[in-house]
Amino acid sequence: MFTPTKTILEKAHKNHYAVPHFNINNMEILQGVVQAAVKLKSPIILATSEGAIGYAGMEYLYALAKVAAETHKIPIALHLDHGKDLNIIKKAIQLGYSSVMIDASHEEFEKNIAFTRKVVQLAHRQRISVEAELGTIGGAEDLVESRKILYTNPTKAKEFVNRTGCDFLAVAIGTSHGAYKFRGKADLRQDIVEQIRKLVKVPLVLHGASGVPEKIVKEAQKYGAKLTGVYGVPDSQIKLAIQKGITKINTDTDLRLAFDAAVRKAVQARPADFDPRHILGPAREAIQKVAEQRITLFDSKGKA
């Protein structure tokens, strides 16, 4: 069955590599990322956002992830991404997720602590670990939206982790969700990761970290996608963040872009073909390719 997220991340933390968190919304995305992890012998965290759950249903996504974990020998965890609704968080805990995220980062400090503490108590009772967030990550991801980026304060981070008992901490260092991350140049506060790393013992998480690869964007544009001014986090910045102490890196946008480009291409290339397998099959392959690149970048290859 699932491997506890905490086991996967503590091993990575000790050995200085990062574990991929991939957002899944359907079977093809799940199969693509899992195939990549199996091929490269990497641990993997499958994540469902509240948006994904609204689209596919928690039971369906759970069942898909469970089959993957039972079929393959690599460590696979199932994680609730950006949990805000306490009912959804409770349901994920009951169903048997490996970890949940409580995102109360939009609240003021004391309220964030109170909400996070409550979820930690609920989850720890079932031996499920908890990711929490301090500071705000910009951009929009599913139901999570924030325009302004508030960097995580390292001293507050220490107090936050001590008082909430959370197992992993998502930090805000200038990344943002979605494909429109920066105006021209990635400006990340790696020094904040370094400071937090010194003060806080739990594994640190980087959201909004997609690379938005030019090659994929161009492919999508070639087949009709309207994407202008998209910009992601360069690979060099990801490597530096891992060096400074990031242990879990979330990827959603890159998967979406690859899926979109592949579907557009398949539909246009075969106008007389209406077999969904010929449309979504190439998308699954494109997902696998992106996932393999991320795993290699994070250095989790061969760590399963």
Return residues touching Zn ion (CB under 5 A): 207
Taking the least distance from each CB to Zn ion, the nearer of 31 and 49 is: 49
Specify whether 191 is catalytic: no
CB of 141 to Zn ion, least distance (A): 5
C-beta closer to Zn ion: residue 13 or 207: 207
Closest among 20, 19, 22 to 10, alpha carbons compared: 19
Min dist CB 144 to Zn ion, Å, is 6
Q: How far is the CB of 140 from Zn ion (least distance, A)?
A: 10
Looking at the Cβ atoms of 177 and 303, the one nearer to Zn ion is 177
Residue closest to Zn ion, measured at CB: 207
Q: Are 220 and 261 in contact (CB under 8 A)?
A: yes
> Coil, helix or strand for 243?
helix
* Cross-strand partners of 138: 176
Could you tell me which of 79, 23, 14, 88 has the C-alpha nearest to residue 57? Answer: 88
> 148 vs 215, which CB is nearer to Zn ion?
148
In this structure, the number of other CB atoms found within 10 A of the CB of residue 209 comes to: 30
Minimum distance, C-beta of residue 139 to Zn ion, in the bound complex (Å) = 9
Whose CA is closest to 271, among 280, 283, 279? 279
Closest C-alpha among 152, 71, 151, 159 to residue 117: 159
- Residue positions annotated with a catalytic role: 81
